């Protein structure tokens, strides 16, 4: 990875100046979008892409007098691929900004590259804490939030309201481990006991051995962070094992996103989760977003569509503030840091210290409705900024 990173940086250094000037003189702002459109997280990338295009449609694909052009590349849930695609977008396509990225390792790989190239990256998903801590840099902005913002308040809530005896499960990579650490820290501080802890390979084809361990531990609840096809399979097998009859589900919002819910058994009704957004929030922007999504796609949105919408708006607001100019890097970064607008999840604002969104955090519950399973708001836990350390 280090060798590839050095090669990328060398290629970028010769192309950066001419690319920036050419773009600044045109009537178009180019935004490179790197998301997974194949593999275990393909559904997440497709939802994010839909959300971005939905917002840009609402403003006529223009901001600051310029047309916003999205150039799409497949992250493939592989950091090495994401790095290669970033190189192509910056050195060949001469993009003005980058957006997207689902995997935390992909975001970690891209951070030094965008700083060297002076091309801002607006992160759509990757929630790993270090992106706004030890790996923080002035060219990375995160519209999705950090895992700490969700899991830390949720751990305390679960200990106080759900279970004092919980089994922990997460995907075996950086953010999965971050999720468990952040949840466990506040959960145990509030008196909760950990019944067991396991990490599962990304793209697992069978969770039966892990479910057997959960059954043997006899917890009152299970906290889980999985997403994409892993989340669907885990929940299906959880019901098949009959664990839904004796073990409560208290999970990350990714596990029970609207785009996944109706791929699993109704036996998970009652599951609670944590997230930055719920479809039934009553604010005007959320009503507009949900209605627009349903009209365009004849479907209900999930949180990844919301993140795509927010990401596109961050880009558009910054371009608007600079009058369409992207060659003045200091002005562009200042415009991004000053982003402040009404979002479907509440007010969107970056913490200037971390360039990470300050988030309202909600507990939701899965319920059966006329169109299948949906999430409903249980309670708002408050507004949280990542501590940045």
Average pLDDT over residues 344-354: 96
pLDDT, mean over the chain: 92
**DSSP structure string for 110-126:** HHHHHHHHT--EEESS-
Q: Quick check: helix, strand or coil at residue 276? A: coil
Q: Are 250 and 222 in contact (CB under 8 A)?
A: yes
Q: How many residues does the chain have?
A: 389
pLDDT at 329 over 90: yes
Domain 2-145+283-357: state its class: alpha beta
295 or 41, higher pLDDT? 295
Domain boundaries, the chain: 2-145+283-357, 148-275+362-384
β-bridge pairing 340-343 and 62-63: unpaired
Show Cβ contacts of residue 216 under 8 Å, excluding neighbours closer than 6 positions.
Answer: none
The Cα 146–Cα 385 span in angstroms is 9
> Using one digit for the tens of pLDDT, what is the confidence trace for 58-70?
999 999 999 999 9
| Same fold: 2-145+283-357 with 148-275+362-384 | yes
Q: pLDDT tens digit string along 166-220? A: 999 999 988 899 999 999 999 999 999 999 999 999 889 999 999 999 999 999 9
The end-to-end CA distance of the chain, in Å, is 25
CA dihedral 198, 178, 348, 231 (to 10 degrees): -20
| 21 vs 19: CA distance, rounded Å | 6
Q: What is residue 174's predicted lDDT score, i.e. its pLDDT?
A: 82
Class of CATH domain 148-275+362-384: alpha beta
What pLDDT was estimated at residue 77?
87
Report the pLDDT value the prediction gives residue 203, as an integer from 0 to 100. Answer: 87
């Amino acid at each position: 990875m280090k060798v590839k990173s050095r090669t990328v940086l060398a290629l970028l250094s010769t192309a950066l100046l001419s690319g920036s000037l050419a773009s600044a003189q045109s009537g178009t702002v180019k935004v490179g979008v790197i998301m997974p459109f194949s593999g275990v997280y393909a559904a997440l990338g497709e939802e994010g892409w839909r959300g971005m295009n939905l917002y840009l449609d609402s403003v006529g694909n223009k901001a600051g007098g310029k047309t916003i052009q999205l150039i799409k590349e497949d992250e493939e849930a592989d950091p090495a691929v994401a790095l290669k695609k970033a190189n192509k977008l910056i050195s060949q396509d001469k993009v003005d900004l980058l957006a997207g990225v689902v995997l935390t390792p992909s975001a970690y790989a891209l951070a030094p590259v965008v700083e060297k190239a002076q091309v801002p990256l607006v992160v759509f998903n990757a929630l790993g804490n270090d992106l706004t801590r030890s790996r923080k840099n002035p060219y990375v902005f995160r519209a999705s939030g950090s895992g700490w913002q969700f899991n830390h308040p949720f751990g305390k809530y679960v200990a106080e309201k759900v279970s004092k005896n919980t089994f922990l499960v997460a995907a075996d990579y950086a953010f999965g481990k971050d999720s468990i650490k952040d949840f466990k820290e506040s959960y145990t501080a509030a008196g909760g006991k950990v019944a067991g802890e396991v990490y599962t390979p990304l793209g697992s084809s069978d969770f039966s051995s892990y479910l057997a361990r959960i059954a043997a531990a006899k917890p009152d609840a299970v906290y889980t962070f999985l997403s994409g096809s892993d989340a669907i399979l885990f929940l299906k097998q959880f019901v098949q094992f009959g664990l839904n009859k004796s073990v409560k589900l208290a999970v990350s919002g990714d596990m029970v996103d609207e785009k996944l819910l109706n791929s699993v058994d109704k036996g998970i009704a009652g599951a609670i989760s944590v997230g930055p957004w719920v479809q039934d929030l009553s604010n005007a922007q959320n009503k507009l977003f949900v209605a627009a999504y349903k009209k365009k796609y004849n479907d209900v949105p999930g949180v990844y569509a919301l993140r795509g919408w927010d990401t596109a708006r961050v880009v558009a607001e910054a371009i608007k503030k600079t009058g369409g100019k992207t060659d003045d890097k200091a002005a562009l970064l200042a415009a991004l840091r000053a982003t402040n607008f009404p979002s479907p999840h509440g007010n969107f604002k970056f913490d200037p210290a971390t360039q990470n969104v300050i988030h309202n955090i909600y507990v939701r519950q899965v319920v059966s409705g006329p169109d299948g399973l949906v999430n409903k708001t249980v309670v708002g836990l408050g507004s949280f900024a990542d501590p940045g350390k």
